[in-house]
């Protein structure tokens, strides 16, 4: 086999349709767009338009509500925190803050703060400082001999 003998497999490539290149091409003159009308012109996008009838997306009922003031927290489970401590990605002897969690890769971004939840088991004695925590998570950390401090105000979005 030589470089000049390389070919695509049969049927792997397809020639592009050249529109408006004379009657012999099969797509000459109007280029497959028909005669006149809005769709024959360029720059037309009429998705969802139903010829003046009320479109379906406007006829259907709208439900729900999006709270623009809702806080979104980065969630950390205690079991995952223990896993990172076991893997030596987080030092349990030093105080663990939100910045430490981001540096270790446990949390991608802080958002409106980090919230600790009690899923999993924590064996290490840790000193945590985060934006939020569930009551059961606080109890689990204290049971392991550590402390969990919840800061009153969430960090402003950076």
What domains, with CATH codes, occur in the chain? 74-150 (3.100.10.10)
Helix pair 78-86, 135-143: axis angle to 10 deg? 40
pLDDT on residue 111: 86
Positions of the chain with pLDDT lower than 50, given as ranges: 154-158
Per-residue model confidence (pLDDT) at position 49? 87
pLDDT tens for each residue of 47-83: 888 888 999 999 999 999 999 999 999 999 999 999 9
pTM: 0.56
Q: What is the reported pLDDT for 64?
A: 92
In whole angstroms, how far apart are CA 57 and each of 46, 47, 52, 110?
14, 11, 13, 36
């Amino acid at each position: 086999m030589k470089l000049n003998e390389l070919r695509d497999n049969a049927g792997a490539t397809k020639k592009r349709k050249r529109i408006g290149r004379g009657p012999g091409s099969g797509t000459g003159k109007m280029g497959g767009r028909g005669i006149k009308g809005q769709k024959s012109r360029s720059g037309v996008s009429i998705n969802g338009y139903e010829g003046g009838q009320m479109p379906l997306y406007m006829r259907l009922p709208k439900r729900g509500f999006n709270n623009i003031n809702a806080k979104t927290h980065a969630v950390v489970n205690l079991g995952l925190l223990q896993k990172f401590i076991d893997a030596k990605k987080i030092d349990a002897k030093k105080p663990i803050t939100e910045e430490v969690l981001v540096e270790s890769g446990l949390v991608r971004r802080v958002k409106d703060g980090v919230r600790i939840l009690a899923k999993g088991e924590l064996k290490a004695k840790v000193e945590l400082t985060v934006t939020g925590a569930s009551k059961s998570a606080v109890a689990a950390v204290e049971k392991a001999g550590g402390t969990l401090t919840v800061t009153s105000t969430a960090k402003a979005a950076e």
